[in-house]
Amino acid sequence: MVDYRQGTPRKQLFLYRQCIDDMVAEENIVRFIDAYIDSLNMYALEFQMNSNNTGAPAYQPQLKLKIYVYGYLNGVRSSRRLMRECTRNIELMWLTEGLAPDFKTIADFRRDNPKALKAVFKQFLTLCHKLELISFQTVAIDGSKLRGQNSGNEIYRREQIERIEQEIQKKTEEYIKELDELDERERKSGVSVNEAKVEELTKRLQKQVNRKEKVGIIKQLFEDNPELKIYFATDEESRLQNDKGKIRVGYNVQTAVDEKHKLIVVAEVTNEQNDKKQLTPMIKQIEQQKEELSIEEKTVAIADAGYFTEQEIMKNKDNEDCRPIVSPGAEGEKASVSKSGKGKRVPSAEYESDKFLYYEQRDLYTCPQNQELTRITNTPAIDAHGRGTYKYRCKAESCAKCGARGLCTNSESGRMLRVSANQAEMLTYLESLEEEENKKLIRRRKEIVEHPFGTMKRSLGYTYFLVKGLVNVTAEFSLMCFAYNLKRAVNILGMRRLMEVIE
């Protein structure tokens, strides 16, 4: 006879067998969450301290923040799931002292405190600075795409709105016709029709009526706003984002990661579809964070090719407090090079723009065949990238007589160069990127920024947002980054050291 372990009978009564505090280990992170949040000044962070409208005593904002921090730290973000966990999760029961707010109370707290939740992320950086976990000597900037709450079925384009209205009208008429046929059949036969069928058709009809009303409002929006081309019905501020070849509705999240311990020092969200305009805002955020922490050391900010545009480089290249090292992209790698090949503007690579020589004193270019290209514009024209460019053109008759014309251009007017008005400064910046120190920084960028996004997406499951609107999405992303930083700090220093600082 095998002797198995026996549990306590479920109906057995016992008194004070074990207190809940004994069930939570001394090194459990919930003890730090509890102590840290209790140490925060909720008024200074601007949390809403309103009482419960029902007349019952309200839950403390500290309690609701503890629930969210624990949830985000463990990949549990839904207010309904958090409500359930409060009644069955020993760690949460310890953290809330047995209180279990309903899901609406939990959800409202996140919705009503976007500014305060962002402040919590920043407040934790103060502790990290005190513990010398961040240095701001080298910071890497990177972006990623997270899905929003707007489904693809709730995207409306101006050119499609008429067709959608026609489809709704067609389905509405079909359902009405089918209901009329059922009524007629019942009248002639005297036998009651299938009530379930009638109920189903009625629901479908009502759905189309509601949809028609919704599409009518959206159509009016298009008429009132001629510049509006596409409308996102569920989350108006989300946008189509290209994420590794897949087009999804969502947001572009931006982080600045300190190299010392891979902690996130800046967390922002934009609905821009790429990173081309994000370098300046991120550098300003880094400078602001340094000022708040009273850090005077100079910073090197590294970014990938997605941030490289002439406008952004020109704005920031002389910034000594936060010096940008941006990997050159297609626009900057060779500032005046055209794409060559069959069917291209420059048929042969031997006649690309970088093969032309510039003579500063005469302000002209010569091609590989020694034909001269003179400037034909006095003021710079703004191109598609926002750059100011001058145009240099070879005389049409000179081009026509050139034996290499077929290799150089397909234009009947002769070969033309578009040259940036800032070309000399941009070339100087590009040359600086070739210095060995800067090349090493560019190579290090990936190992700095990939760590946080890898942890947040793979380990914590942060691939989408639960809230709508740019303000609320930014608050949720701040909560995500705070959870990551907290997890990282515990892994680096351990619970004992962190508790000592709080106590």
* 151-189 exposure pattern, b = at least 16 Cβ within 10 A, e = fewer: eeebbbebeebeebbeebeebbeebeeebeeeeeeeeee
CA pair distance 27, 248, nearest whole angstrom: 41
CA pair distance 126, 437, nearest whole angstrom: 30
CA pair distance 237, 244, nearest whole angstrom: 21
Q: Please report how many Cα atoms fall inside a 13 Å half-sphere around the Cα of residue 118, on the Cβ side.
A: 15
CA pair distance 66, 479, nearest whole angstrom: 12
- The mean per-residue pLDDT over the stretch 282-305 comes to 95
Long-range contacts (CB closer than 8 Å, 24 or more residues apart) made by 335-342: 335/310, 335/420, 335/423, 335/426, 335/427, 335/430, 336/417, 336/418, 336/419, 336/420, 336/423
- The mean per-residue pLDDT over the stretch 156-181 comes to 88
CA pair distance 252, 247, nearest whole angstrom: 13
Q: Which two tokens stand for residue 294?
A: 């009273």
- The mean per-residue pLDDT over the stretch 10-31 comes to 82
- The mean per-residue pLDDT over the stretch 314-325 comes to 93
> What pLDDT shows up at residue 54?
61
Cα 277 to Cα 251, 252, 264, 283: the distances in Å are 15, 12, 20, 11
Check whether 225 has a pLDDT greater than 60. yes
- Alpha-helix runs per DSSP H in 378-422: 396-401, 405-408
Check whether 336 has a pLDDT greater than 50. no
CA pair distance 189, 2, nearest whole angstrom: 72
Cα 4 to Cα 1, 10, 12, 469: the distances in Å are 9, 17, 19, 56
Contact 479, 117 (CB under 8 A): yes
Q: Which two tokens stand for residue 217?
A: 């409002």
| Phi, psi dihedral angles at 72 (to 5 degrees) | -65, -30
The closest alpha carbon to 290, from 326, 260, 319, 322, belongs to 322
- The mean per-residue pLDDT over the stretch 150-174 comes to 88
3-state secondary structure of 279: helix
> What pLDDT shows up at residue 137?
95
453-473 pLDDT per residue, tens: 999 998 899 999 999 999 999
Residue in the block written with tokens 């000044």? 41
Q: Judging by DSSP bridges, how do beta strands 322-326 and 299-303 pair with one another?
A: parallel
Check whether 288 has a pLDDT greater than 60. yes
Amino acid found at 110: R
> What pLDDT shows up at residue 321?
94
- The mean per-residue pLDDT over the stretch 90-95 comes to 94
- Residue 68 exposed, middle or buried by CB count within 10 Å (0-12, 13-18, 19+): buried
Where does 259-316 show beta strands of DSSP type E? 263-270, 299-303
3-state SS string over 123-192? HHHHHHHHCCCCCCCEEEEEEEEEECCCCHHHEEEHHHHHHHHHHHHHHHHHHHHHHHHHHHHHHHHCCC
Give the residue with greater pLDDT, 345 vs 423: 423
CA pair distance 86, 94, nearest whole angstrom: 9
The CA dihedral of 45, 50, 52, 55, to the nearest 10 degrees, is: 150
359-381 pLDDT per residue, tens: 988 999 999 999 999 999 988 88
CA pair distance 173, 352, nearest whole angstrom: 62
Contact 355, 363 (CB under 8 A): no
Check whether 262 has a pLDDT greater than 60. yes
| Phi, psi dihedral angles at 176 (to 5 degrees) | -65, -45
Confidence class for position 13, pLDDT limits 50, 70, 90: confident
Q: Give every CB contact of residue 247 below 8 A, 6+ residues apart in sequence.
A: 240, 241
> What pLDDT shows up at residue 341?
57
CA pair distance 6, 100, nearest whole angstrom: 32
> What pLDDT shows up at residue 16?
61
Question: Which range, 8-22, 255-269, 448-462, is most confident?
Answer: 255-269
The CA dihedral of 19, 21, 23, 27, to the nearest 10 degrees, is: -160
> What pLDDT shows up at residue 383?
75
Give the residue with greater pLDDT, 202 vs 267: 267
The closest alpha carbon to 25, from 430, 496, 362, 357, belongs to 496
